[in-house]
Amino acid sequence: MRWRRLNGDKINLPIKEAVEKTINEEHQKGNRLKVCIGSDSLDRSGKVEFATVIVFLREKKGGFMFINNEKVIQKMSLRERMILEVAKSVEIAYALCDLLDQYNVELEVHADINTDPNFKSNVALKEAMGYILSMGFVFKAKPDAFASSSCADKVI
């Protein structure tokens, strides 16, 4: 996976090392952090583009994010795409959870899935919620899932 910052700067360290370095830098500045991980996707005629973000929120001082973009050439149903988004977020959350626990950083996994049954993405709500909660993570869906529905959405 290739990660970058919003300004386009590449992150050359393995993501776990980059996150640990970031946590240490932020703690040295006196900032308390919370991390939210989310993914979003866009289907463009059989080419699906994914964006996964790690959002660092500084308590009362804004935030910033690390971004990973991927493209998959494959036809998939909406449900399949939603679950793949969640899987990408869970993969990163799982890779980072021990580190975040070590530094006492709160973690949330956000799903770009609407809780309102009138929206198409709702077809994957139960599976996504079960997947995330069964992994032991805090689950957020729309409208509270800003990491996926706002941050990742903007960088596809």
Percentage of the chain lying above the pLDDT 70 cut: 100
Q: What is the pTM of this model?
A: 0.94
Confidence at 35, pLDDT banded by 50, 70, 90 = very high
Mean pLDDT of 62-75: 95
Segment holding 37, helix H or strand E? strand 33-44
| Mean of the per-residue pLDDT values of the chain | 95
Write the CB contacts of 1 (distance below 8 Å, at least 6 apart in sequence). Answer: 15, 68, 70
pLDDT at 119 over 90: no
